[in-house]
Amino acid sequence: MIDYFKIPGHPDYVINKDGDIINTKTWTRISSSIVGGRRRVCLDGCTEYMANLLLTTFDRPKEKTECVIYRDGNTHNDLLHNVEWGRRGQNYSKKYPTSDLYPGREAMPKPIMINELNISFDSIRQCAEFINGSPSGIRQCLSGNLKTYRGYTFTLI
């Protein structure tokens, strides 16, 4: 059986560890929407982020200077084991999976090639240094957000 817990500040709603919310007045499940990459729900006319509700219910209330940190860097992953309270700058240092969340899975450099020059590099960072650019520009080109970066196209090897 799944256990539900009262949400602090919202006495008519309960939540479980998977993020399912039920209105205890009508016994209906509350649907969520994704805006800006984060799941949100509307409780008592107030829009709340799902991760904030999970942490407030199962951990502790948010302090003024804290925000939600996603351990694997994926804001779509609102599971309780993936979120924690922390500082803003911590989210940027956790963009890739960490070994404590995914044992045996380390961030590996990706071999890349500049198509026009037919030169390959061991990592995106080395390629960016070669063309005097930034790794983020190359990643945007690889994802399709940019057609070219600094006049070059790239391919992962």
In order, the DSSP letters of the chain are ----EEETTEEEEEE-TT--EEETTTTEEEP-EEETTEEEEEETTEEEEHHHHHHHHHT-PPPTT-EEEETTS-TT---GGGEEEE-HHHHHTTSS--TTTSTT----PPPEEETTTTEEESSHHHHHHHTT--HHHHHHHHHTS-S-BTTB-EEE-
Q: What is the pLDDT of residues 26-39, one digit of tens each?
A: 999 999 998 888 89
User: In the chain, what are the domains?
Assistant: 5-92 (3.90.75.20), 112-156 (no CATH)
pLDDT tens-place string over residues 143-156: 888 899 999 999 98
pTM: 0.57
Model pLDDT for residues 89-142, shown as the tens digit of each residue: 665 555 544 555 555 555 567 899 999 999 999 988 899 999 999 988 998 888
